Structure 1
Amino acid sequence: MKNIILEKSYQFSERILNVYFFLRENKHFRLAEQIVGSGTSIGANVVEAQAAQSRNDFISKLCIASKEARETEFWLKLFNRKELLQDYPDYEYLRDEIKEIIKILDSIILSSKEKK
């Protein structure tokens, strides 16, 4: 059975790495560091949740992933500028995908809390 959040967060991380390299090429070093940190942390925490020691640990890891996703959404909104990512080929995909990831994470967290 496919794990949608694992797949989506990994694919998103790959695209965020591309954004990181793009921003660095354009000398936006600090901004590149910000978005690569939060954008790849989503997937890392989702992976950690798969090896959780308890339901509470699972929920905790996914809550961290959700927070990182929201931070990434913030950076993407902020970077909607001509000199940053406005014309970047994957920009719309990234904005739409982060919203979808947040919805999925929140749904998993909610259902996991209800099962406690």
Structure 2
Amino acid sequence: MRESILKNKSYHFAVLIVKTYKIISSEKKEYTLSRQLLKSGTSIGANIREAEFAQSNKDFINKMSIALKEANETEYWLLLLKDTEFIKIEDFNLLINHNKELIKMLVSTINTMKSKI
């Protein structure tokens, strides 16, 4: 159940990231930072999906840990895009809140699985 919520939230977040990328690249003509955001922001959900069919508990933890790293990197790019005024503060707040929620859920999932090993 928990992973399903995480899977859904990470997918919704990826959609928001793709839409943000499209706006930044088309309206602001910024391609480098926005591409980095696109890669890390969509990688979170991709790694969560990979974890669904992990070969072992250790593999599951590894995939979720990679998703957590990607979420942390995404936070960096969001902060940088905000501070360089490529995204509006309202958009930043929406995205950073979603990202922080994903981070909390990933940490909880990883810790829960580690306690079972």
TM-score normalised according to structure 1 size:
0.93
Please, what is the CA RMSD of the aligned residues?
1.4
- What is the percentage of aligned positions where both structures have the same residue? 44
| 1:79 alignment partner, SS class | helix
Aligned to 1:30: 32
Q: Cα deviation per residue 1:10-69 (whole Å; 9 max; x = unaligned)? A: 000000001111111111011111000000000000000001010000000000000000
**Larger helix percent:** 2
SS at match of 2:83: coil
TM-fit CA distance, 1:83: 3.2
Count of aligned residue pairs for this structure pair: 115
CA distance in 1, matches of 2:97, 2:85: 21
Residues in 2 aligned to 1:81 and 1:57: alpha-carbon distance in whole angstroms = 36
Q: Write the letter of the residue equivalent to 1:34.
A: Q
CA contact (8 A) 1:20 1:36 kept: yes
- Which aligned segments of 4 or more residues in structure 1 are displaced greater than 3 angstroms? none
Aligned counterpart for 1:62 among listed residues 61, 64, 78: 64
Equivalent position amino acid for 1:69 in 2: A
The aligned residue for residue 8 of structure 2 is 7
Give me the whole-angstrom Cα distance separating, in 2, the residues matched to 1:70 and 1:82: 19
